[in-house]
Amino acid sequence: MLDDIVNTIILFITGLGSGIFISIASGTAFVIVVPVFVLIAGLSLYQVIGTNLVIDCIIGGVAGVVFLYRKRVKFKPIIYPGSTGVISAIVGTRFSRLPPESYLTIMTGILLIILGLNFIINGVRKNIDYIQKKLEFKILIKYEKTTLILLGIIIGFISGIIGIGSSGIIAIILVLVYSYDLHTGIGTSLMAMFFIAGAGVIGQSINNNIATDPLIYAGFGALIGAAIGAFFSNKVNEDKLGRIIGVIITVLGIIMLYKFFFY
């Protein structure tokens, strides 16, 4: 009985923390929930994939509405990658039995740590200005619609296969390539994640890969955490928000590397 109560609390806290972190920094709850869902809830990797998509969908929807209320959501980057992402996410779920690429995990973890430390040390704006000076995005900017459509196809497919909402990728593209301010980039990407992850949920539910019991507790925590994180994010200026995001993604990168070597 006590073990059940403790596990329930852990699941709720996991969802709460995921909601807070992701609604502030964008991204996916996958790297946070995997160890807990596997070790505490006893889920298989395939169940984690499906269940995490529901949590990402909850976070994206709740946080996205808060950012929308604050007028920090643009609809063009939702319509184009969202529509194609929905279709490719459903297609991707048909391939979700393929094992995730372990080397991609470690490379992503290292990249997150490097990017996070840069955000902590230099802030967001200095990093954005540096990258835009070093790289040319003229083609991507000129063919914005095509770029967003292809982005949606790629992100949706990846989301359907390995169960990640991928709002972080959308946010990075919007901020670095199209010069969105950080708040608008995050708000728009979270709203897009709601639709893309939601499509993945449909496909994963057909595959019976959603674990209802742990989802109830973690999902409720994610709902509350997303609201808290989104309100907090909208109150903080861009530079402070960037440094907070730096801490978060550095920690997530460390978690990914830990998961790679010890799970």
**Range scoring the smallest mean pLDDT among 38-42, 95-99, 196-200, 215-219:** 95-99
Lowest mean pLDDT among 30-34, 52-56, 107-111: 107-111
> Which of 76, 83, 84 is CA-nearest to residue 178?
76
Per-residue model confidence as pLDDT tens digits over 31-46: 777 777 877 777 777 7
The pTM of this model reads 0.78
Residue range 121-140: mean pLDDT, rounded:
62
Tokens 């959603």 correspond to 210
The CB-based long-range contact list for 113-118 (8 Å cut-off, 24+ gap) reads 113/249, 113/250, 113/253, 113/254, 113/257, 114/253, 115/246, 115/249, 116/245, 116/246, 116/247, 116/248, 116/249, 116/250, 116/251, 116/252, 116/253, 117/246, 117/250, 118/246
